Amino acid sequence: MTGSSFCSMKDYLKQTGGFAVIDGGLATEFERHGADLNDPLWSAKCLLTSPHLIHTVHLDYLEAGADIISSASYQATIQGFEAKGFSREISESLLRKSVEIACEARNTYYDKCGTSSSMDDKILKKRPILVAASVGSYGAYLADGSEYSGVYGDLITLEKLKDFHRRRLQVLAESGADLIAFETIPNKIEAQAFAELLEEGDVKIPGWFSFNSKDGVNVVSGDSIKECISIAENCEKVVAVGINCTPPRFIEGLVLEIEKVTSKPILVYPNSGESYDADRKEWVENTGVGDEDFVSYVEKWMDAGVSLLGGCCRTTPTTIRAIHKRLVNRRSH
């Protein structure tokens, strides 16, 4: 697939047997490979220091069975790069690079599928693979953990959020991605900003909207999950809706609420359930669930109506391989 050919998630799911696998956490994988991400740019730092590592991790996820891979642009913003002293031109080229690396990894994977068969637990199967350009919230740019609270203060208006994201979306949309993954959206106002930007017409590819929750009832800001999903439901350019970066135990209840207000495919890619310490900028070890427990939820999520499944922070290719295996029996061939 290329950016121009994808337009409907429902049609895509027909090609993938009714279900699709989203990749897992990028930043935590980069760290596992030795990258130091203690930086406001977080995983976007790898665009500067180790692009080859990003390619490797994308490939690891494809070989684990992911059908959709997200670019390393979650925390990559023009404003963030400029704050590091880069020109506007270089900042935009780094955004483009994040998508180009993911597209290159997809091509590398397809080449491998043509030359060898599945081995060593690697899944080498030619299939329609999507590249999603990852867009984090304004809170992710602040790098102070406010995407986990959704509290931006009274000074941040709808128009300010649109101005913050507008050029970034245009650049990512023109970089070869199939869709934009609006991720870890913490509040209603930012969902509204994204929806209006998609409808302005400068962004030529569709997107999905994914929110996060810390109580299993509302999004992290306290805004109603139903109201947030309704914004996405009313935007034609949004092709799927759901939840990410949220503990697995909350997912089923949230999905049942989401189902009441959407006709779009539902996606979930939770974190491992570990808690994030915003002051120390690190995940608190041993507060989450292991891969086995994580994957034990998958059947419930599918029964609740989820058709796109993956992982977020602290999940790995091992998690994704296990999800892929669970989906094999549920997919219609």
What are the pLDDT digits (tens) for 151-189? 998 889 999 999 999 999 999 999 999 999 999 999 999
**For residue 279, what pLDDT band results from cuts at 50, 70 and 90?**
low
pTM of the model: 0.93
Above 80 in pLDDT, residue 3?
A: no
3 state DSSP class of 12: helix
pLDDT value of residue 7: 85
Instruction: With CA atoms as reference, report the closest residue to 198 among 292, 288, 133.
Output: 133
What are the pLDDT digits (tens) for 293-314? 788 899 999 999 999 999 998 8
For β-strands 238-244 and 266-269, DSSP reports them as: parallel
3-state helix/strand/coil string of 158-225: HHHHHHHHHHHHHHHHCCCCCEEEEEEECCHHHHHHHHHHHHCCCCCCCEEEEECCCCCCECCCCCEH
Residue ranges of the binding site: 245, 312-313
Ramachandran quadrant class, 59 (left: phi over 0; alpha: psi -120 to 50; beta: rest): alpha
Above 70 in pLDDT, residue 284?
A: no
Residue with tokens 């649109």: 162
Candidate from 4-18, 219-233, 249-263 with smallest mean pLDDT: 4-18
**For residue 52, what pLDDT band results from cuts at 50, 70 and 90?**
very high
Cα(270)–Cα(283) distance, integer angstroms: 14
- What integer is the mean pLDDT of 304-326? 94
Cα(40)–Cα(144) distance, integer angstroms: 9
Residue ranges of the binding site for Zn(2+): 245, 312-313
Domain boundaries, the chain: 10-271+291-332
pLDDT value of residue 115: 79
CA 320 to chain CA mean position, Å: 14
Above 80 in pLDDT, residue 285?
A: no
Would you say the C-alpha torsion 107, 108, 114, 117 has a positive or negative sign?
negative
Dump strand ranges (E) for the chain: 20-21, 68-70, 130-135, 179-185, 207-211, 238-244, 266-269, 276-277, 282-283, 306-309
Q: Which CATH number fits domain 10-271+291-332: 3.40.630.30, 3.20.20.330, 3.30.450.80, 3.10.20.600?
A: 3.20.20.330
Q: What is the mean pLDDT of the chain?
A: 91
What are the pLDDT digits (tens) for 81-123? 999 999 999 999 999 999 999 999 999 999 999 877 666 779 9
Is the model more confident about 171 or about 287? 171
Above 60 in pLDDT, residue 283?
A: no
